[in-house]
Structure 1
Amino acid sequence: MEMAEIARRIAELKREKDAVVLAHYYVPAETQALADYVGDSFYLARLAKTLESRTIVLCGVSFMAESVKLLNPGRTVLMPEPAADCPMAHMVQKADVDRVRERYDDLAVVAYVNTTAEIKRWADVCVTSSNAIKVVSELPQHNILFIPDMNLGRYVAEQVPQKNVILNRGYCPTHNRIAPAEVEALEAEHPEAEVLAHPECPQDVLWEADYIGSTKQIIEHIAASDKKEFIVLTVVGVAAEIERLTQGQGKTIHFPATRPVCPNMAMVTAQKLLECLERGTGQMELPEDPDRANAPLERMLELAAR
């Protein structure tokens, strides 16, 4: 089916089913173009609470749909590709969390929102890459167990040296594959380019960066910059929004030779979005003990708003 026909049919189905489509920056550009709202994890989590549509379609990976369902328990939440998962969302063990809790009395367990609902139940508060520094700095506890991403956790620890941040050994496979040698090759080829990196990248990659920020922060930084050339160290899906915001500005972006493509986000195609709306498939159910899983999300929204 042609994209124009897919777009027409999706618009029709959204009206029929009182549905709204949310998409993460990392899904394919064609899917982003069909969404009502496109954003990063924090934006989509916060936005989800304000929506009135009966059905929310989340174009992203499973932990995102779980979060939206936790924040909107009375609404139907659909995933166009239920198999789209995030490996990092599972990279922490309950025994490790319990061990650290036993060792420290003054402890907050901080879970990156990129976690399953089960893991959120082990945490005191959630964070995203855009609000992690603010939320951790607002916590009264001195000791912070940051799960599951060691790269983002290490970056947060550097920004809040007044806290004792304990790291877990999880990581995003796509960001972790970005190699310093490929970044250095790009810098040699484009010496005037500004280097922007997501804090999920390894530390030796972040050392190459002129600017470190969340997906949304990277996009907005490029859009507002007077520079014309950028090396972008995050998932290539951000190119669509960067190009939309900088149209006519003569700006160029470069990605590493080993393209940072999230295979799970890439599964969320326009055709699957259409089929999801047509059939009502990919429905997200409330997880076990939803109130406990939702509490860290609500705490995140509270602290980030201060």
Structure 2
Amino acid sequence: GIVCTSTNAPVILDWAFAQREKVLFFPDQHLGRWTGFNKGIPLDEMVVWDPDLEYGGLTAEQIRKARILLWKGHCSVHQMFQPAHILKFRNQHPDGKVISHPESALEVCRQSDFVGSTEYIIKVVKESAPGTRWLVGTELNLVNRLAEEVKHEGKIVQFMAPTVCMCSTMQRIDPQHLAWTLENLAEGNVVNRITVPAHEAALAKVALERMLAVS
């Protein structure tokens, strides 16, 4: 196999189809669907594979027809963005722009003016004209930080959803635990060491090196 990021997913998908006629895309079904959609793959040839159900909850015909099997997984933050949020923004601010991360639902991406990775979102907003207004569909801390960085140019950057859903995984990395880890390292103590079985590490390295070579 091979791994990808939200930026190089199109290139990696091309590589994958050069190896096999079908692709199992995981863990994020929305990134896989958006990437396949932009490659011209029909939606009925991209089906969701539910790992908790026999044969993914699919019929033999669906599996035969599918070009991409989308693992039933998603990002909890990007999952909450809805087309209705974009419609409300456009009604209130006809001149505003919408930019979303590709881990958002397909209809959210289709109704956005721009779709791309975190790095892409930052670049587009920062390079936009002064005084522009943006609705951003990605993680809240990034949106708030970006809003602060561009407000001196008269730009207004707002979070897409009306409710707040923090990324619980990212929130685990806080200043206190970072300081604790660094202080221990300075004293020669390695804390929270993560180990991976050698055979799994070897295969993971293959997948990573393939991505770097292809990209």
| Equivalent residue number for residue 105 of structure 2 | 202
| Equivalent residue number for residue 286 of structure 1 | 196
- Check if 1:267 corresponds to 2:172: yes
RMSD of Structure 2 on Structure 1 (CA): 2.1
Q: 3-state SS of the aligned residue for 2:153? A: coil
Structure 2 unaligned spans of 5+: 46-66, 185-189
- Check if 1:186 corresponds to 2:89: yes
Separation in 1 of the partners of 2:145 and 2:10? 24
Q: 3-state SS of the aligned residue for 2:25? A: strand
The 5-angstrom pairing of residues 50-89 of structure 1 reads: none
Separation in 2 of the partners of 1:249 and 1:219? 15
Q: CA deviation at 1:223?
A: 1.0
**Larger C-alpha radius of gyration, 1 or 2?**
2
| Equivalent residue number for residue 152 of structure 2 | 248
Q: CA deviation at 1:185?
A: 2.1
Q: 1:233 is matched by which residue type in structure 2?
A: G
Q: 1:278 is matched by which residue type in structure 2?
A: E
Going from structure 1 to structure 2, the CA distance change for 1:287 and 1:178 (only over 3 Å counts) comes to: farther
Q: Deviations over 1:190-215 (max 9, x none)?
A: 22211001111111222221111011
Q: Give the structure with the larger helix fraction.
A: 2
Q: 2:23 is matched by which residue type in structure 1?
A: I
| Equivalent residue number for residue 6 of structure 2 | 129
Superposition TM-score, scaled by structure 2 size: 0.76
- Check if 1:235 corresponds to 2:139: yes
Separation in 1 of the partners of 2:196 and 2:148? 35
* Partners of 1:197 and 1:234 within 8 A in 2: yes
Separation in 2 of the partners of 1:287 and 1:193? 50
Which of 190, 206, 216 is the equivalent residue of 2:119? 216
Q: Deviations over 1:93-151 (max 9, x none)?
A: xxxxxxxxxxxxxxxxxxxxxxxxxxxxxxx1000101101221234234222112110
Separation in 1 of the partners of 2:34 and 2:7? 12
Q: 3-state SS of the aligned residue for 1:126? A: coil
* Partners of 1:178 and 1:260 within 8 A in 2: no
* Partners of 2:147 and 2:158 within 8 A in 1: no
Separation in 2 of the partners of 1:243 and 1:257? 16
Q: Deviations over 1:9-45 (max 9, x none)?
A: xxxxxxxxxxxxxxxxxxxxxxxxxxxxxxxxxxxxx
Structure 1 unaligned spans of 5+: 1-123
- Check if 1:148 corresponds to 2:51: no
* Partners of 1:178 and 1:258 within 8 A in 2: no
Greater RCO (Cα-Cα under 8 Å, separation 6 or more): 1
* Partners of 1:219 and 1:241 within 8 A in 2: no
